[in-house]
Amino acid sequence: MQYQSSFKSPLGILIIKSDGQYVTEISFSECELQEQNDCGILLKCKEQLEDYFSGKSIEFDLPLNPKGTEFQQKVWAELQRILYGETITYMDLAVRLGDAKAARAVGTANGRNPIAIVIPCHRVIGAGNKLAGYAGGIWRKKILLELEMKHTIPKNLLF
């Protein structure tokens, strides 16, 4: 069975979907769902999104099941290793995956990430620290990165 629900975020409406065991999708929408059917995992996801946007939490602890190719799965798994408040380039991500020539393919896989925010594709930026590409719009990417910077202790202040 497919479960789905809306969540009002600072970035607008998020549509969250689940198969009952895993979060399968988080996407941006212009309107709330008319018919919502929550399940335990969707409620947990909403709580964690609320904590994320309020700065109370910097990590998600949700079972995820994004649908994609083997290569996309590898890219999405690597995205989850990018620390909160940090950014890397598409080239850096390709290098982490073992193929510096795959930057474009990595960018394409990044853009097809079905679980926005929780799989943090917003933390990948273009060369020269340019904000490039984001399925939810560059303005949302900018807000997400600013939110994370706001709640991150600079490394030079850590003792």
> Same domain for 74 and 141?
yes
The answer to whether position 113 is within a domain reads: yes
> Same domain for 116 and 80?
yes
The neighbour count for residue 14, using CB atoms within 10 Å, is: 22
> Same domain for 88 and 138?
yes
The answer to whether position 102 is within a domain reads: yes
| pTM passes above 0.85 | yes
Active site residue 39: no
Residue position matching structure tokens 């399968």: 24
The pLDDT tens digits for 35-70 are 888 899 999 999 999 999 999 999 999 999 999 999
> Same domain for 146 and 74?
yes
Q: How confident is the model at residue 132 (pLDDT cuts 50, 70, 90)?
A: confident
Cβ–Cβ < 8 Å for 62, 45: yes
The answer to whether position 118 is within a domain reads: yes
- Close Cβ partners of 84 (under 8 Å, ≥ 6 residues apart): 58, 59, 120, 148, 151, 152
Q: Residue 95 is part of a domain; what is its CATH number?
A: 1.10.10.10
3-state secondary structure of 145: helix
Cβ–Cβ < 8 Å for 74, 129: no
Number of domains in the chain: 2
Rounded mean pLDDT of the chain? 91
The answer to whether position 16 is within a domain reads: yes
Cβ–Cβ < 8 Å for 109, 76: yes
Higher-scoring residue by pLDDT: 68, 32: 68
Range of the domain at 133: 70-150
> Same domain for 115 and 141?
yes
> Same domain for 79 and 105?
yes
Using alpha carbons, select from 138, 146, 84 the residue that is nearest to residue 111: 138
Q: Catalytic residue, from 31, 39, 45, 121: name it.
A: 121
> Same domain for 29 and 80?
no
